[in-house]
Homo-oligomer: A and B are copies of this chain.
Amino acid sequence: MELIFEGYQPDKNALEESLFHTANGYIGIRACPEEGQVQGIPSIRGTYMNAFYDIKPIRYGEKLYGFPETQQGIVNLTDVQTIRLFIEEEQFLPSSQGEVLGYRRSLDMKFGFAERFIHWRSPKGQEVEISIRRMASLLVPELFCLQYAVKALNFSGKICFESIVLGDVSNYADASDPRVAAEKLRHLVVENVRMDEQSGLIESRTVTSNLKLAAAVSYLPPHDFKLQMDGAADSLTAKADGNILQGENLVFTLFAAFADSRRHDNPASKARQTVRDALLNGVAFYEKAQREILDEFWENSRVLVKSDEALQNSLDYSLYSLYCSCGRDEVSSIAAKGLSGEGYEGHYFWDTEIYIFPFFLLTDRQRAKNLLSFRYSILPQAREHARIMGHPCGALYPWRTISGSECSGYFPSGSAQYHLSADISHAFMQYYLATEDIDFMAQKGAEVLVETARLFLDAGHWYEGKFRIDAVTGPDEYSCIVDNNFYTNAGAQDTLRNAVIITRMLIEQGKAEAVFRKTGISSSELEQFLQAADQMYLPYDEKLMIHAQDDAFLKLAKLDLQSIPPDKYPLLLHYHPLWLYRHQVCKQADTVLAHFLYEDLADIETMRRSYEYYESCTTHDSSLSRCVFSIMASKLGEMDKALDYFRHSATMDIDDAHGNTKDGIHTANMGGSYLAIVAGFAGLRIKASGLHLAPRIPAELEGYEFPFKYLNSRLYITVDHSSCHIRLTGGPAVQIAVYNRSLQIGSEESIDIVIQR
């Protein structure tokens, strides 16, 4: 369970910084070179904290009514990762001095640390082996440990470690790429720098959002090394001088702790206490805890794909990254890039609910619940957003946000994506179906369902007996502001129905008090929800016998994707949006995704035709696309394709297939890779009718297996080419429909089913 990159490739540095970042859901530190930023080597030096943001203005060429004036953005924090090494006064600068004789980056996913190994010969001929280990503690989320080990191979002499802690940091910017911030702005202002003999503290405040951050450091120098601390207006330096003997391996340890005012009353005291505790506990204490926590994580979550080591490794990397990216509290969620980079500015999108949430729902209930509670916490802002968008009632979730305000600066592929509100409602309902946690629905879920249902009822209108929703954008951003997007209308239908189902269930159980009080929902309104849901217009093309992506899509000009030169992908970077909107071309799965999420809306042959049609016009320019095609290929029994799409999806970041992993990993795609097996190969669905499985297996794989939770039980599924073995590893008996045949598995029992082709 290790990701390993061999060889020194400075030009791939920024990519490696993302891939080997260390995070724990609260903080994330890119794997930037300890020796510091070097001119000419691509690098995005960054440290981030989930949901810790500043606010900056959004500028417009022409600002129309309701365009958000400001945007939240993740903040690059105090930089603690610079450690300069001097050997006999020669600085270790592998990119410009001496010679790199060996180089390896690795991420150990069992033990939870990243390592950088360099075998280096200095200009004067001293050879050292440097191993730097980094860990973001899963036990103490504020804590980051860095152990800098140096082994003298062919000399004895003086060495010096110099840690520099920089408070003067700014965010990365690239004006040419719409997917990252356009303007370099300083967001963090240092307010206080303090130190004692073994530790230091930098307190800062964000410029506009006025959030406090404390970054504390403490050090364990090698024995007999003298530590000398020095402070400046916005930085700290810690120097440790001493001698190394040939063959000796010395370790300089840095503990850093980050604490913020969104979670802590006194961030400075929290950060300082954390690094002081760390000095007392020592690294081994946190390493042990790290291992234990990960053992449990893997036990609950690990998906095995047999006999394809590369795939297995990619999949491990995906699940590990999801775990380390997922917020640990109700103020945070999972950013599009996790905590690994600044792409999409640390915003939360629908990625969470549709691509990532199912993983946590099936493996880690508390995190799943946190993710929903986060959405519940920003319901007031979603209501406000709905008002701005012209709806007198209901809640419209912001397309991209950190703490609830709409942060999209281009509404046609931003606020117009009304489907997000349905996606969130869908996640709430999935949670309920998987847990039967009616109390959570009474407290939070019902309110979200009712408010989002109201939104759709107001956004749509009746026309010739059908309920239509115009001028929205579906998941496919290559067709914006369309009428009756199938995905959106299907989601709206689902939301409207579920709002009714849950509210009525609460009424029956005498638990409806909160939802009545908070929403004032009436039975006539519920009736309206149902009518709109029942008569929801779902565009269908009689000739092609498929659902149309929207009213216009199938009439647009066709585009031969083969005729477009490879260097013109992703199209969004080479074609004006209008040109894209004018053609039958999709950035990602849209109708195909609807067929996955709302599979009972169409028969299998319609889905097959739809799959084939949309596959021919989808570029997969979005990282959220291929995994969905994989899932649906499985559903259609196209297992070669399913595997092919899954492979693309699972290896996307490691292969840097989209060329932008330097800006951060693609967490939605990672969730999608998980789903490609669990919902795809294994056909797992959680529906009102219960748990469903329909396992299939690609010819190229020997088998796959995974654990999951359902209601109060734990199950483990093992699939090979002959059978599917389902074992109940904990909890009471459960009912499962396998290939639509209902089976019961008793406590500690297992069953075997012959695999269908």
Binding site for B on A (CB under 8 A): 58-68, 71, 175, 178, 182, 388-390, 408-412, 414-416, 459, 461, 463, 468, 470-472, 480-481, 483, 551-552, 555-558, 572-579, 581-582
Contact = CB atoms under 8 A, between A and B. Distances in A.
A468 to B, nearest CB: 7
Contacts of A59: 59-61, 182
A60 B408 CA distance: 11
A410 B579 contact: no
A438 to B, nearest CB: 36
Given A61-B60, A63-B182, A470-B557, A411 B578 contact: yes
A552 B555 contact: no
Contact of A577 (B65, B182, B472): B65
A183 to B, nearest CB: 8
A572 B65 contact: yes
B409 A581 contact: no
Contacts of A389: 576, 578-579
11 contacts: A61-B68, A61-B410, A62-B410, A63-B182, A64-B178, A64-B410, A65-B574, A390-B578, A412-B481, A459-B582, A551-B551
A390 B568 CA distance: 12
A555 B71 contact: no
A325 B414 CA distance: 40
Nearest 8 pairs of A and B residues by beta carbon? A61-B409, A390-B579, A59-B59, A66-B576, A461-B557, A62-B410, A471-B582, A58-B61
Contacts of A468: 555
Contacts of A409: 60-62
A150 B390 CA distance: 56
Contact of A414 (B62, B463, B480, B481): B62
Nearest to A576: B66
B63 A175 contact: yes
A576 B470 contact: no
A410 to B, nearest CB: 4
Given A59-B59, A481-B481, 17 more contacts: A59-B61, A60-B60, A60-B410, A61-B410, A62-B178, A62-B414, A63-B175, A65-B573, A65-B574, A65-B577, A66-B575, A416-B578, A471-B581, A481-B581, A483-B556, A551-B555, A552-B552
Given A389-B579, A481-B581, A576-B390, A470 B411 contact: no
Contact of A578 (B62, B481, B574): B481
Contacts of A471: 556, 578, 581-582
B552 A64 contact: no
A65 B60 CA distance: 15
A558 to B, nearest CB: 8
Secondary structure at chain A's binding surface: helix, strand, loop or mixed? loop
Most chain B CB inside 10 Å of its own CB: which residue of A388, A411, A414, A578: A578
Given A483-B555, A555-B483, A64 B408 contact: no
Chain copies in the assembled complex: 2
Nearest to A391: B579
A275 B577 CA distance: 52
Nearest to A66: B576
Nearest to A418: B578
A540 to B, nearest CB: 16
Contacts of A182: 59-60, 63
A731 to B, nearest CB: 47
Nearest to A552: B483
A62 to B, nearest CB: 4
A576 to B, nearest CB: 4
A55 to B, nearest CB: 13
A387 to B, nearest CB: 10
Contacts of A65: 572-577
A60 B59 CA distance: 5
A64 B470 contact: no
Contacts of A463: 555, 557
Contacts of A470: 552, 555-557, 581-582
A410 B409 CA distance: 12
A636 B95 CA distance: 80
Contacts of A579: 389-390
A567 to B, nearest CB: 14
Contacts of A64: 178, 410, 572, 576-577
A555 B409 CA distance: 29
Contacts of A66: 575-577
B415 A578 contact: yes
Contacts of A412: 412, 481
A579 B411 CA distance: 12
Contact of A388 (B63, B390, B558, B576): B576
Contact of A61 (B71, B459, B461, B581): B71
A334 B480 CA distance: 34
B483 A480 contact: no
